[in-house]
Structure 1
């Protein structure tokens, strides 16, 4: 009898989910770097689940999935969410893939474009039908080496050591940046998108480990220790040329009033030296993104930064100093990045 009731409830839940999806015309996408699955912050894993529920995300794209000690992060987070009364779907990711995705809707075809052994970073492609719309999601955590935005800040982007002098020549910055595998990964993703049926809507989101050319502009060349550099960062330039739209900059085009920094985020539960990799510099940047492209109507209704309002500047806590809008943490903030919550209408 109990088993029969359970099966009936499961069937009813599936029907409700199906009917809800059919009538869906809005989608809330949360992109978050979870900093080693929340293990660096006390109670960080539980906080990840709390944030997903508090922000009521429909789709969540994770960076820094680790599957520590043979555990399955996706199944662990699904269980944690279920214990809080929230039902999500997700497929277990390979232990060599440091990205993941969960959804309130059934996840269809899913495959990795890259894993950690490729040197390209992690890229996971997932297909999900929401309402009458077919979406293709790419969850990214790109190559963190050759972090060239440190050069004008006076730090090496490979060793993280302080330089004798800052390097602000754009040609040198671009050359150093292209030693990473980030631009190759983005080119491959664009080729993959172009090979898909174009009636689908495409969303690329994750930790790119690279700033945007929309942020390193003439208007900001003397801010944030850019030291005069106006840099055409490869990933953002390639995506823009391919027709992808940066959801944050679409809503907030001014990089001076709304810098949108996602890294480093201040975290009250972590020693400041774990948050400051360039302690004598203002190394704040926007390196986490939600991009989209769609031939079918797709509108960004809202883009919010999720996380503490404070950042880290010169190895010290920096109180709010921009007009950016924030959705504050419910309690513990589980990471050294800030997250993005983008609401799409379709």
Structure 2
């Protein structure tokens, strides 16, 4: 005899637990990393081995590398089983877990300082994206000009104009313009060491952590913002006091201005960042301001003088 007392509950279970019933399918995820290699990871003993371990720990799918080289990027790609963007000829390199469809040079900047690639998310039809990776000029560093007591915003901006950063980011954005205009179809990412604070970070309420001039329209971040690019870290962590996101520096501390100068920007209707974090593995020894003796840090577990940034994006309806 059929037990009707069991049939009805089972029907209810099949209604509520049918795969996909009433649930929106989760979109594909992409983990983007920007990572300054500190002279090809040569300043720390076993640097490349430590870098490979750090990238694996971070779970990165695609990495924009600065202060790298073709040889170093090839070693990383081989160890990780990744692809390398072949047009990268200097310190700016891209390595990716996903297949690289096309690589191209970036105008407006020394080719050694920028590289771009079109990448396909393996196994995800229609999920292509463009990644630009850059390393802006470090000269006439803004926080040094802003630090002295009595500095004025005019003096700081005059020093900023002596650097190549504004010219470089302007040229880069011009190279990106066509891709940005089509970013709702093919999302665009911009990673890099910008060697500049953000206009979203150095504001009046962060004066205590940034002595001297605070609120400044730093061109290296203002211009991408005006071009429609979104700073992924600050989007998810809008309070610079609560979450400063400092990336410079992991080793230079006493006497050195501490700022967020490494970024992951994005543009495109089909993507949204779901997590973003500063990543620097295990803590190591620290030293004084930039230019001091670095010998105390040569055995640090983290192979860079910058922290990396890792943002995880989710692809969704376009």
Pair 1:129 & 2:120 matched: yes
Match of 1:286 among 260, 264, 272: 260
Deviation string, structure 1 residues 228-271 (Cα, Å, up to 9, x no partner): 431110111111111111111001111111111001113xxxxx
Q: Counterpart of 1:73? A: 72
In 1: Cα distance, 2:150 partner to 2:95 partner? 41
Q: How does 1:101-250 map to 2 (within 5 A)?
A: 101-113=94-106, 118=110, 122-130=113-121, 131=124, 132-154=126-148, 166=149, 168-196=151-179, 197-198=182-183, 199-225=185-211, 227-250=212-235
Q: Counterpart of 1:299? A: 272
| Alpha-carbon RMSD | 2.5
SS of 1:284's equivalent in the other structure is coil
In 1: Cα distance, 2:76 partner to 2:88 partner? 15
Moved more, 127-136 or 99-108: 127-136
Q: Counterpart of 1:61? A: 64
Normalising by structure 1, what TM-score? 0.73
Structure 2: unaligned runs, 5 residues or longer:
1-25, 291-299
Q: Counterpart of 1:11? A: none
SS of 1:304's equivalent in the other structure is strand
In 2: Cα distance, 1:29 partner to 1:195 partner? 22
In 1: Cα distance, 2:55 partner to 2:227 partner? 31
Contact 1:245-1:293 within 8 A present in 2 as well: yes
Greater CA radius of gyration, 1 or 2?
2
Q: Counterpart of 1:257? A: 242
Measure how far apart 1:79 and its partner are. Answer: 2.1
Deviation string, structure 1 residues 128-166 (Cα, Å, up to 9, x no partner): 122222211011111111112111324xxxxxxxxxxx4
Normalising by structure 2, what TM-score? 0.79
In the superposition, relative to structure 1, how do residues 168 and 314 fare at CA in structure 2: closer, same or farther (>3 Å)?
farther
Contact 1:35-1:335 within 8 A present in 2 as well: yes
Tell me the matched-pair count. 274
Q: Counterpart of 1:10? A: none
In the superposition, relative to structure 1, how do residues 302 and 217 fare at CA in structure 2: closer, same or farther (>3 Å)?
same
In the superposition, relative to structure 1, how do residues 203 and 94 fare at CA in structure 2: closer, same or farther (>3 Å)?
closer
In 1: Cα distance, 2:119 partner to 2:285 partner? 34
Q: Counterpart of 2:304? A: 335
Deviation string, structure 1 residues 155-197 (Cα, Å, up to 9, x no partner): xxxxxxxxxxx45211111121122121222222222222233
In 2: Cα distance, 1:286 partner to 1:121 partner? 23
SS of 1:260's equivalent in the other structure is coil
